[in-house]
Each structure stands twice: as C-alpha cells, then as structure tokens.
C-alpha cells in the first residue's frame, strides 16, 4: 500500500508548515488528486488516521479535490478532458493524445488554529 508512504510524506510537509509556535493544531488538510494519480482515497484516509497520530494534525479532516485528466489532441489541437489515459479525443475521435494533467497529488491548503 503506497498510500502509507504518501501520508508519511504529507506528514513531513504538514509538520514543517505547522511548526510555528503560534499554531496549536491542524484542523483540516485539502489534497488535490488527479484522476490518474493511482491513489486510493479510502486507503489514503485510513493511512492518514494512522500516520498523523501524535502530530499537530492528529484528528484533522482530510478532504479531496478531484482534478480531471486532460490531454492535447495532436489532430484537432484542442485541450480536452479525458476519463482514461487511453481514451480517444472526445471532439474528433483521434487516438493521438498527449496527456497534460491528471497524475498530480498536492496539498492545496490546510486550516490551523
């Protein structure tokens, strides 16, 4: 389960960001997840609860912002949204697409008190 190691990386970033003495705890973290990021949200949520124990983010809500998959079509030269990496262009039907986004995972923001 690579979600556990992803959460450990997130914890390092959250711990560093929340290290200021005037921050008592983190109450919410929002993650942007691309459609093709291969992250299982349920597994990440479970790992979140385990990995955040003992940190300022213990008990913090983890929220997901879903980002679509996008690609550029070489034939019609449009930027299009795709549901799967191997989908054809929804506008012209071409299979010649260059993926632009959809594999990202990043911390969007976090709430602290």
Q: How many domains does the chain have?
A: 1
Tokens of 108: 């969007």
CB environment 72-107: b (16+ within 10 A), e (fewer):
ebeeeeeebebeeeeebbeeeeeeebeeeebbebee
pLDDT in tens, the chain (113 residues): 589 999 999 999 999 999 999 999 999 999 999 999 999 999 999 999 999 999 999 999 999 999 999 999 999 999 999 999 999 999 999 999 999 999 999 999 999 99
94 in a domain, yes or no?
no
95 in a domain, yes or no?
no
Q: Which residue has the tokens 């291969």?
A: 38
75 in a domain, yes or no?
no
Helix (H, G, I), strand (E, B) or coil at 59: coil
Helices (H) and strands (E) in the chain, counts: 2, 6
The pLDDT of residue 1 is 57
- In 18-40, alpha helices (H): none
Put simply, whether the predicted model's pTM sits higher than 0.95 gets the answer no
Question: What CATH number should be reported for the domain holding residue 53?
Answer: 3.30.2320.50
Residue 11 lies in domain: 2-68+102-112
């Amino acid at each position: 389960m690579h979600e556990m190691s992803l959460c450990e990386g997130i914890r390092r970033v959250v711990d560093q960001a929340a290290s200021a003495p005037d921050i008592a705890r983190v109450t919410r973290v929002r993650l942007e997840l691309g459609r093709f990021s291969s992250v299982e949200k349920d597994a990440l949520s479970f790992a979140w609860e385990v990995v955040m124990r003992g940190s300022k983010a213990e008990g913090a809500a983890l929220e997901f912002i879903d980002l679509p998959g996008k690609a550029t079509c070489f034939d019609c030269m449009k930027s299009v949204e795709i549901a799967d990496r191997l989908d054809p262009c929804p506008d012209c039907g071409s299979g010649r697409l260059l993926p632009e986004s959809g594999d990202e995972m990043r911390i969007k923001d976090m709430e602290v008190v």
